Amino acid sequence: MKKLILPALAVMMLAGCNEPEIDTTTEETMKSSIQEVRNSLDDADKPRFDKAIEVVALSNISIPELLQAKEKEDDEFIQNKFKETLNGKSGKDVIKLATDIENKKHAEQQEAARNELKALEEKQAHRELATEKLRTFEFKSSRIEYGKEVNGDAPATLIITMINPEKTSISGVHYAIERYIDGKAYPETVKTFYYEFPEAIAAGQKGEVVLSLGNKSAWAKDEHMEPSSFFAWLFRADGVDKKPLYDVSSFNENDKARLMELKQQLAQ
């Protein structure tokens, strides 16, 4: 019985070792050998092979190389890259390699997503801290001054006072102004501005932000030309290096949406 079984096993092992392989020597051998390799696979593996051969063939060429080849109409370069990757591989080799490539790509994408998520969470935390810190700044419209009158008109200037509660100096501020009249806000009037102090405002000191309102005549029909009708608030304060010390605009609605998207992606 052993004399019958051993030769049979040897034949099966040899058959397994002689799986057809892709031969990319010529266009004809490549096409025929790919078909031969496909035909040698089980029906369940054939669709996997069809998908895998595209994954493997494209794995050996970078996006810049592909774009450059297309720009130069260098089809031969692309074909050679495909042949180089597929040559000598069996159907199982192609399927396994494609699986490895996709697993590696997925792992890299997940790692990139985790890094991006971490960066966005840090930005979100900074926004929360900035919101809390900027609320401690005393920042309000205090008075309107008029310059020297010329030809019946004079420049109008809004003066906003600020007290720096921080332990470090503030070189400039980014702020917004909104008209606020008789207890009603007018969001459509919101405008943002930047003001750099002539000298940085030291810790605990008071400074003034100067905003030109144009000429007095432009406000002639405005019945609410008083400081309280110009509501001011900070959204960024810069340190002496002119870099943001606190900045609530560093995390916006797009960042928030992306943060949620990444959390869902990594939870799958």
Q: What's this model's pTM, rounded to 2 decimal places?
A: 0.67
- Segment 108-153, tens digit of pLDDT: 999 999 999 999 999 999 999 999 999 999 999 999 999 998 888 9
- Segment 236-246, tens digit of pLDDT: 999 999 999 99
- Gap between the terminal Cα atoms of the chain: 54
Average pLDDT, the chain: 89
Q: What is the rounded average pLDDT of the residues 159-181?
A: 96
Nearest to 156 by CA among 196, 215, 229: 215
- Give the pLDDT of residue 136: 96
CA distances to 17, 120, 122, 194, 203 from 237, in Å:
71, 21, 18, 10, 13
